[in-house]
Amino acid sequence: MLRLDHLVKKFGGLTATNDVTLDFPAGTLSAIIGPNGAGKTTLFNQITGHLVPTSGKIVFAGEDITGMKPAAIVRKGIGRAFQVANIFPTMTVEEALASAVSAHAHAAFELSSAFPRRDVKTRTEELLALLGMEPVARRISGEISHGDQKLLDVGLALALDPKLLLLDEPAAGMGPEERWQMMDTVQRLWKSQNMTLIFIEHDIDLVFRTAEIIHVLRYGAVLASGQADEIRGNPEVIEAYLGSETDATEADSREEPA
Ligand SMILES: Nc1ncnc2c1ncn2[C@@H]1O[C@H](COP(=O)(O)OP(=O)(O)OP(=O)(O)O)[C@@H](O)[C@H]1O
């Protein structure tokens, strides 16, 4: 579904993504972990077209999408949950979701007149149910809890019917109980929506419980890939990951002199 092929991204003398080659097979639920500054978000930004790789290729569904603009990549079927709930602060949750569903239906209809018009109301209700957000459907987006706003972000990305969904720390800023619930929801969405999902997460316990495949980044490069048991038992990973608790930004140590 998605292949990253020798992907390099440099910011001046800093190599944020260092020769990353990874496969994300269709239908899988993968996590990307790694210390602060390991290059996780930079990787996502390249996949979504917000950053252009210095070298290497990004192949999605058999097509080379390297260097395409973000809007074109969204149309190819790659969605990402941004912190967008605050774009609709005065709308209710239901209205915000309906707007996203409606915009997507409209774009799809313009692309192909054969594309069936979506029943916006039905899809909105479906999403509310999927997200478990019916109880807050009529509340103002800007006034719901942080956790519900993060869920709404995911819902807005889902409204575009992505084949591949990228979530950057979906449980960030939540309390322990809420974090587990969020990851349960992510797993449920992934199962029910027949999509490929990649998430970035710092909490290694959440990752071990949720992801099928885990990729560990360090200094912008892939340190290890595998299932939870393989990753859990990898001394290098443990060292790299636990080391991050004390190093604020590991990338600081790899800046080359100008
Ligand atoms: N636009 C940019 N310009 C210059 N340097 C950047 C830019 N974006 C990221 N970096 C640097 O690239 C390195 C990797 O950053 P990135 O945000 O991808 O790491 P991360 O693994 O997502 O970290 P975190 O877990 O803290 O979010 C960091 O040193 C960061 O400062």
- What are the pLDDT digits (tens) for 139-162? 999 899 988 999 999 999 998 889
Number of H helices, E strands in the chain: 9, 10
How high is the pLDDT of residue 84?
60
User: Is there a single domain that holds both residue 129 and residue 207?
Assistant: no
Q: Indicate the number of domains in the chain.
A: 2
User: Is there a single domain that holds both residue 224 and residue 125?
Assistant: no
Q: Which residue, by CA, sits nearest to atom 5 of ligand 1?
A: 11
How high is the pLDDT of residue 253?
44
User: Is there a single domain that holds both residue 195 and residue 68?
Assistant: yes
250 — pLDDT class (breaks 50, 70, 90): very low
User: What distance in angstroms lies between residue 217's CA and the mean position of ligand 1's atoms?
Assistant: 12
Please return the burial class of 14, using the count of CB atoms within 10 Å of its CB with bins 0-12, 13-18 and 19+.
Answer: middle
Lowest mean pLDDT among 52-56, 68-72, 85-89, 189-193: 85-89
Q: At residue 76, does pLDDT exceed 60? A: yes
- What are the pLDDT digits (tens) for 156-209? 999 888 999 999 999 888 888 889 999 999 999 999 888 999 999 988 889 999
Boundary-marking domain end, from 111, 140, 161: 161
The rounded distance, in Å, linking the Cα atoms of 172 and 179 is 8
Boundary-marking domain end, from 132, 161, 190: 161
Q: At residue 100, does pLDDT exceed 70? A: yes
How high is the pLDDT of residue 102?
82
Span 46-73, average pLDDT: 96
The rounded distance, in Å, linking the Cα atoms of 151 and 89 is 14
Domain extent, residue 27, equals 1-77+162-258
Better-predicted residue by pLDDT, 105 or 172: 172
Q: Does residue 39's CB lie within 6 angstroms of at least one atom of ligand 1?
A: yes
The rounded distance, in Å, linking the Cα atoms of 107 and 111 is 6
User: What distance in angstroms lies between residue 40's CA and the mean position of ligand 1's atoms?
Assistant: 8
Span 211-232, average pLDDT: 94
User: Is there a single domain that holds both residue 199 and residue 73?
Assistant: yes
Better-predicted residue by pLDDT, 246 or 157: 157
Q: At residue 244, does pLDDT exceed 60? A: no
CATH number of the domain encompassing residue 177: 3.40.50.300
User: Is there a single domain that holds both residue 120 and residue 245?
Assistant: no
Give residue 239's identity as a one-letter amino acid code.
E
User: Is there a single domain that holds both residue 156 and residue 173?
Assistant: no
How high is the pLDDT of residue 245?
46
User: Is there a single domain that holds both residue 180 and residue 242?
Assistant: yes
Q: Are strands 213-218 and 14-24 parallel, antiparallel or unpaired?
A: unpaired
Which atom of ligand 1 is found nearest the CA of 39?
18
- Which of 40, 42, 50, 249 to mutate for ligand 1's pocket (most ligand atoms within 8 Å of CB)? 42
User: Is there a single domain that holds both residue 87 and residue 177?
Assistant: no
Instruction: Mention every residue, 6+ apart, whose C-beta is less than 8 A from residue 14.
Output: 251, 254, 255, 256
User: Is there a single domain that holds both residue 167 and residue 258?
Assistant: yes
How high is the pLDDT of residue 107?
63
Q: What is the pTM of this model?
A: 0.88
Closest by CA position to 86, among listed 173, 150, 182? 150
User: What distance in angstroms lies between residue 258's CA and the mean position of ligand 1's atoms?
Assistant: 18
How high is the pLDDT of residue 114?
41
The rounded distance, in Å, linking the Cα atoms of 42 and 16 is 7
Q: Which residue, by CA, sits nearest to atom 26 of ligand 1?
A: 36
The rounded distance, in Å, linking the Cα atoms of 153 and 157 is 6
Q: At residue 9, does pLDDT exceed 50? A: yes
Boundary-marking domain end, from 161, 194, 215: 161
Please give the order of strands across the beta sheet that includes 14-24: 14-24, 2-11, 55-60, 63-64
User: Is there a single domain that holds both residue 178 and residue 250?
Assistant: yes
